[in-house]
Amino acid sequence: MFAILGCFLSLFLMAHPVYASTFKTPVIVIDPGHGGIDGGTQNADGTVLEKDLNLIIAKKLADQLKKHGLTVELTREKDEDVTKYAPHDRGWGRHKRDLFGRVEFARQKQATIMISLHGNHGTNKSRGAVVFYQLSSPESYLLASELQTRLNRLTQSFHSPEKGKEFYIIRKPEIPSVLVEYGYLSNPNEFANLMDEKYQQKMVETLKEGILHFMIFYHLPR
């Protein structure tokens, strides 16, 4: 099913001509968390920073989604923060401007959905992926559920989507937004998986399938 999303969209418009003149190709904004002086968390020996792993996974996910006819935008494509999209005359600190800039980027790109990618940190036994959703958005919860179900299968864990009320990055956008913590860098075994290219590809395929399933079954006009 997921290999033919582009064909599905074309067939959808043929079957629903009333939408043909107004339908806009979905825009997926992927936000690789942290960047620049903000490294995020790190693995046990401090040799790998979260910001770098976030960007690697984000780029691979973007490449996969583009193959299915979706427009994909990254909030950053190199090791930098996203303060350039935030105003500099409000007396905000760098961190607040960075978060605001990510949300503003999604607004400027007229995003359909926004997915922020992060690594997690806990004990050396903590494991699995956790997806946080926007409390005020039923669609955000549906997107989070699609992703969480698939990530649980990949990571062989049993997490449920969690309310992300403390995360600015998913509280502020006026679109379905989720924050994906894809694994624990503090767990040596999980970290080893996250650094493995084959596992990264499985992670990307898992995220892609959740996104496409959400777009097809919940977000296209009826």
**pTM (predicted TM-score):** 0.90
Residue 206 has pLDDT above 50, yes or no: yes
User: Cα 52 to chain center, whole Å?
Assistant: 15
Q: Please check whether residue 191 is in contact with residue 184, taking contact to mean a CB–CB distance below 8 angstroms.
A: yes
Q: Lowest mean pLDDT of 50-59, 162-171, 183-192, 198-207, name the range.
A: 162-171
Residue with tokens 């043929």: 14
Residue 19 has pLDDT above 80, yes or no: no
Q: Lowest mean pLDDT of 14-18, 139-143, 192-196, 199-203, name the range.
A: 14-18
Q: What is the Cα gyration radius of the chain?
A: 17
Region label for 48, one of left (φ > 0), alpha (ψ between -120 and 50) or beta (otherwise): beta
Residue 25 has pLDDT above 90, yes or no: no
Given this model, what pLDDT does residue 14 score?
Answer: 44
Name the helix (H) or strand (E) containing 144: helix 138-155
Sequence-ordered list of residues with C-beta below 8 angstroms from that of 164, at least 6 positions apart, any chain: 132, 133, 134, 135, 170, 171, 178, 179
Residue 26 has pLDDT above 70, yes or no: yes
The mean pLDDT value of the chain amounts to 90
Q: Please check whether residue 50 is in contact with residue 39, taking contact to mean a CB–CB distance below 8 angstroms.
A: yes
Residue 182 has pLDDT above 80, yes or no: yes
**Both structure tokens of 160:** 């449920």
pLDDT single digits (tens) 141-177: 999 999 999 999 999 999 999 999 889 999 887 899 9
Domain architecture of the chain: domains with CATH = 26-78+86-219 (3.40.630.40)
Which residue has better confidence, 74 or 218? 74
DSSP string, 83-121: GGGS-SSS---HHHHHHHHHHHHHHHTT-SEEEEEEEE-
Count of positions (residues) in the chain: 222
For the residues 199-210, what does the mean pLDDT come to? Answer: 98
Sequence-ordered list of residues with C-beta below 8 angstroms from that of 96, at least 6 positions apart, any chain: 86
Q: Kindly indicate the confidence band of residue 24, based on its pLDDT and cuts at 50, 70 and 90.
A: confident
Given this model, what pLDDT does residue 89 score?
Answer: 81
pLDDT single digits (tens) 90-128: 899 999 999 999 999 999 999 999 999 999 999 999 999
- Identify which of 64, 67, 80, 68 has the alpha carbon closest to the alpha carbon of residue 31: 80
